[in-house]
Amino acid sequence: MTASSGVDCKSVLCGLSPVEAVLFDIDGTVCDSDPIHYAAFREVLQEIGFNGGVPITEDYYIENISGNHNDNIARILFPDDFERGIKLTDDKEAMFRRLVGDKLKPVSGLDKVRKWVEDRGLKRAAVTNAPRPNAELMISILGLSDFFQAVILGSECEHAKPHPEPYLKGLEAIKASKEHTFIFEDSVSGIKAGVAAGMPVIALTTGNPEHILMEAKPSLIIKNYDDPKLWAALEELDKKSGTRGA
């Protein structure tokens, strides 16, 4: 399926009927964390004089860092010194955790989509490339600890996103089938992982512009969980499934 941004989007999920589960990325998907990650990377890279001390741009961050696993980021930033790259990403994650407490906000409409999932008794898991301390901290701050039935980490799989393994592990953990599951994502890396795992992916433009997300072939692109395109698609899915919320 190809991404739709118009009225035709209403049928993009209907093939999943009856829907069984929803998988969520965390960073940029349930919370608007990309600006915090960007600020942390800018600061730690400036501190070590990366790029001659010139701060990285948002475009550089989107192209090289956003959605990537830290092992890949370390290799991109320091192709000749992986250990230095890993230390840098560790320092950055510690800074992120210091910054995140006061700044982390849910993506607009998250409570509404959470209620939609819960009212239908759907299974759900978080699937992320974030380190476990970050993932658990963000989930806790957002009040989602009881919502997710499993949390799958790229670092605890043989392959992280964009490989499909984390999403396939997510299905396995909650005993769901890919034929009746869809995914919410915000990065090219994550969308590619979900598509490769054989599931429709709804992409949010919280961290990346639409034209970049389109390259990864999501089924639908939305601004946030308040987007009318999302609710048109979910309404059609409800009709096809013959279900309604409580």
- Looking at residue 12, its pLDDT comes to 82
Whole-number Å distance between alpha carbons of 70 and 143: 25
- The overall average pLDDT reported for the chain is 92
- Looking at residue 183, its pLDDT comes to 98
Q: In what order do the strands lie in the sheet with 151-153?
A: 151-153, 123-128, 21-24, 181-185, 201-204, 220-222
Active centre residues (catalytic)? 25, 27
Whole-number Å distance between alpha carbons of 44 and 39: 9
Note the pLDDT tens digit of each residue in 58-113. Answer: 999 988 998 888 999 999 999 999 999 999 999 999 999 999 988 899 999 999 99
- Looking at residue 4, its pLDDT comes to 47
Note the pLDDT tens digit of each residue in 170-198. Answer: 999 999 999 999 999 999 999 999 999 99
Closest CA to 202 of 179, 180, 230, 228: 230
Whole-number Å distance between alpha carbons of 108 and 28: 11
Whole-number Å distance between alpha carbons of 33 and 30: 9
As given in the structure block, the two tokens for residue 8 are: 């035709």
3 state SS of 201:
strand
Whole-number Å distance between alpha carbons of 52 and 143: 41
Whole-number Å distance between alpha carbons of 21 and 237: 13
3 state SS of 222:
strand
Whole-number Å distance between alpha carbons of 86 and 72: 9
As given in the structure block, the two tokens for residue 167 are: 């999403």
Note the pLDDT tens digit of each residue in 119-150. Answer: 999 999 999 999 999 999 999 999 999 999 99
What does the chain come to in residues? 246
As a whole number of Å, the end-to-end CA separation of the chain is: 30
Note the pLDDT tens digit of each residue in 148-169. Answer: 999 999 999 999 999 999 999 9
Query: Where does the pLDDT of residue 244 fall: very low under 50, low under 70, confident under 90, or very high at 90 and above?
Result: low
Q: Which residues, including other chains, have CB under 8 Å from residue 98's CB and lie 6 or more apart?
A: none
